[in-house]
Chains A and B, each alone.
Chain A
Amino acid sequence: MHRTNRVRLLPIFVGFFRLGVVSFGGGTAGWLYREIVERRRWINDAEFLSGAALGRLMPGSGGVNLTVQVGQILHGGSGAFAAVLGLLSGPLAIILALTAGYTTIGQSPTLHAVLDGVAAAAIGLTFATGLKLVRFGRASAGPLAVTAATVLSVGVLRWPMITVVLCLAPVSIGLALLDRRGGRA
């Protein structure tokens, strides 16, 4: 099973550090494909696809999950660690520098305007992603009802998300199973 140590740790760290710094606007998987599959040829398409599939399936950032798996393929557990460390440390440094800058000149009205603009755009983007996911869910009544219930209870009623998800997830799974069975019959 251990077909490890395909690439040494330092190149892994450097490769993913680059990836982390250039991947503006999320979409880490796309950047990773370019940098790691096409440019460096460290993994092949099939490995990328199974990693991307599992990465999106698992909770958490799909990009980070994919990175964990690629690191694992390249150099086992320490490879996974090096890859994630590389991916996150660049953005971490940048973001802390930005925040430090923001705290020093925090009262500038121009800066506030800029941040408001960025926030508005980011909210729009998040909203669009949500809408796209709803569409992917093969818009039928059951899944839509679950989505609506989640939005209502977390977003409007402000119930704790963990409880809400733990209650609604079984309902959603049950509906999906029923839907599948109905479709087959």
Chain B
Amino acid sequence: MPEDFRTLLTLTLVFAPLSLLSIGGGASLLAEIEHQSVGVHAWTTEREFANLFAISRAAPGPGTMLSTLIGWKVAGLAGALTATIALYLPIAGFTRRTRRLARSNRCDGRDLVAAAPSSAGVVLRRRGVVRPRRGARFVVT
């Protein structure tokens, strides 16, 4: 039991901080997830990692199910749930808070750029993408 718990804790400690760094979507985490899973914790071999990556991309849904699969490989269903929650929950809460903050300050989409976390260096460069000038742009993405 303590051993299981330690594994789940490690999964959480690996994926939760990553979620806050995944600027521009889950794909930016790929290198680090690979490094952690194959190199640091030896959760998968390189071969297995490539397979899990392929499976995660073949299934529907929002990209980053890779963490779920690694959690599954390491600790079964509990691991899968832990890794998923660790990767999505912090940022979901963060987004919700930022939105409420933006709304209570009567920001429109344009001002939201200013409300972005300062860790998002990339974001400043991408403000042209983010600014809601024309509807079509967002529909496509």
CB–CB B55/A162 < 8 A: no
Mostly, the A contact residues are helix
- Residues of chain A in range 106-136 having any CB-CB distance to chain B below 8 Å: 112, 115-116, 118-119, 121-122, 125-126, 129-130, 133, 136
How many residues belonging to A are interface residues under a CB distance threshold of 8 Å?
Answer: 82
Q: Cβ of B109: which chain A residues have Cβ within 8 Å of it? A: 49-50, 53-54
CB–CB B120/A69 < 8 A: no
CB–CB A23/B60 < 8 A: yes
Mostly, the B contact residues are helix
B98's partner among A58, A99, A126 (CB-CB below 8 A) is A58
**B1 sits at the interface (CB 8 A):** no
CB–CB B130/A56 < 8 A: yes
- B residues apposed to A, CB below 8 Å: 17-27, 29-32, 35, 39, 50-65, 68-69, 72-73, 77, 80, 84, 88, 91-92, 94-96, 98-100, 102-104, 108-109, 112-113, 115-126, 128-132, 135, 138-141
User: Nearest 9 pairs between A and B by C-beta?
Assistant: A91-B61, A169-B121, A172-B121, A60-B91, A122-B57, A176-B124, A161-B32, A119-B54, A118-B54
- A residues apposed to B, CB below 8 Å: 1, 20-30, 33, 45, 48-65, 68-69, 72, 77, 80, 84, 87-88, 90-92, 94-96, 98-99, 102, 112, 115-116, 118-119, 121-122, 125-126, 129-130, 133, 136-138, 143, 146, 154-155, 158, 160-162, 165-166, 168-173, 176-177
